[in-house]
Chains A and B, each alone.
Chain A
Amino acid sequence: MKQSKDPFEVAFEESSPPDSPVEEIVGGQIEDEDDANVNVHPTSTPSAAPSSGTTVPPTAKSKDEDEEEEEENMDVELGKLPTSGDPHKMAKMQAILSQFTEEQMSRYESFRRSGFQKANMKKLLVSITGSQKISAPMTIVASGIAKMFVGELVETARMVMTERKETGPIRPCHIREAYRRLKLEGKVPRRSVSRLFR
């Protein structure tokens, strides 16, 4: 699944000294996400569903694009490899990032760098499936999906809080309400088989 230009390799060859990419690769598993610059070309990955062909509601799509843009520009922001993303989006992201307050910046950094430990996720997957054959990409995908799910829960919980006009840290009752709403939307997988035996 070679992309037409491989931004990571281009940058790797041209300017960065051999040390820095290695440090970043070897050093932190969480950091890896910030290193590589990816233009998401759905058609170039064999395992990708043809998402380019489906119609997306505009709000969901713009939010997703923002997440991807943020990835590319976060790299520039951190002084790592240059990106070859869409210059307009990059410029927009740069403009936004430069105006962040400190608190916003630290929150954004937490958002980007947080993630489930691969080892823990792998143990969990092994214990669920009962088999040892959990490939690394599977762990990566599961961690990514779980992180986004946490994001949905927390954001919905915040919405619940604003509706109830409450402030402060999120409480379990908010999470439960958020979970209930997500279930209604169908975003939580439910096992249909067990209902037969009620």
Chain B
Amino acid sequence: MNSSSAGPSSKPRAGSSQPSDSSFKRKRGVFQKDLQHMMYGFGDDANPLPETVALLEDIVVEYVTDLVHKAQETASKRGKLLTEDFLFLMRKDLPKLNRCTELLSMNEELKQARKAFDVDEEKLATME
């Protein structure tokens, strides 16, 4: 059984035995560009310090990791991890909860709109 490929990178492949929270193979600066814009939007300087961005990235990754682990704890009874598990975790933090429900409903609306648009396109195509 040759294990393959020299695939790109250091990213873990699906199903491979990776300890779920070590992520030492994570590249640095994955969120760097996004974080810079975000920090400016939230009140930092137009050019935030690189060490601040790096620290924020570490904090965010740790935050998401802990969040997912907690969600998995509630999801373990059900078996599958669902979006509702995240919403349950946010039950105490109302601004975040409202934002999540808003994002989810916007996503639904966009999906409906896209579907409607595809249907219209088909109609046009068949008409001509």
Q: Are A and B a genuine interacting pair, yes or no?
A: yes
* Chain A residues with a Cβ under 8 A of chain B: 1, 3, 6, 8-9, 12, 18, 21-22, 25, 32-33, 35-36, 38, 40-42, 44-45, 47-49, 51, 54, 56, 60-61, 63-64, 67-68, 71, 107-117, 120-121, 123-133, 135-138, 140-142, 144-151, 153-155, 157-158, 168-172, 175-176, 179, 186-191
Are A116 and B34 in contact (CB-based, < 8 A)? yes
Closest-CB distance, A24 to chain B (whole angstroms): 10
Interchain CA distance A141-B114 in the complex, whole Å: 20
Are B52 and A172 in contact (CB-based, < 8 A)? yes
> Which residues in A have their C-beta under 8 angstroms from that of B95?
60, 63-64, 67, 148
Are A141 and B104 in contact (CB-based, < 8 A)? yes
Are B44 and A135 in contact (CB-based, < 8 A)? no
Are B14 and A132 in contact (CB-based, < 8 A)? yes
Q: List 19 A-B contacts (CB under 8 A).
A: A9-B112, A12-B113, A47-B83, A48-B101, A48-B104, A51-B97, A61-B94, A64-B94, A108-B41, A110-B37, A130-B18, A141-B83, A142-B67, A145-B86, A146-B63, A151-B42, A154-B39, A170-B52, A175-B55
> Which residues in A have their C-beta under 8 angstroms from that of B93?
187
> Which residues in B have their C-beta under 8 angstroms from that of A42?
98, 101
Interchain CA distance A179-B56 in the complex, whole Å: 10
* Chain B residues with a Cβ under 8 A of chain A: 11-12, 14-15, 18, 20-21, 23, 26, 30-31, 34-35, 37-45, 47-49, 51-52, 55-56, 59-61, 63-70, 72, 80-84, 86-110, 112-114, 116-117, 120
Which chain A residue shows the least CB distance to B70?
A189
Closest-CB distance, B3 to chain A (whole angstroms): 18
Are B44 and A25 in contact (CB-based, < 8 A)? no
> Which residues in B have their C-beta under 8 angstroms from that of A120?
30-31, 34
Extra contacts, 9 of them, besides A132-B15, A149-B63, A155-B43 (Cβ < 8 A), are A21-B113, A41-B105, A49-B88, A113-B37, A141-B103, A142-B86, A150-B42, A188-B66, A191-B66
> Which residues in A have their C-beta under 8 angstroms from that of B55?
172, 175-176
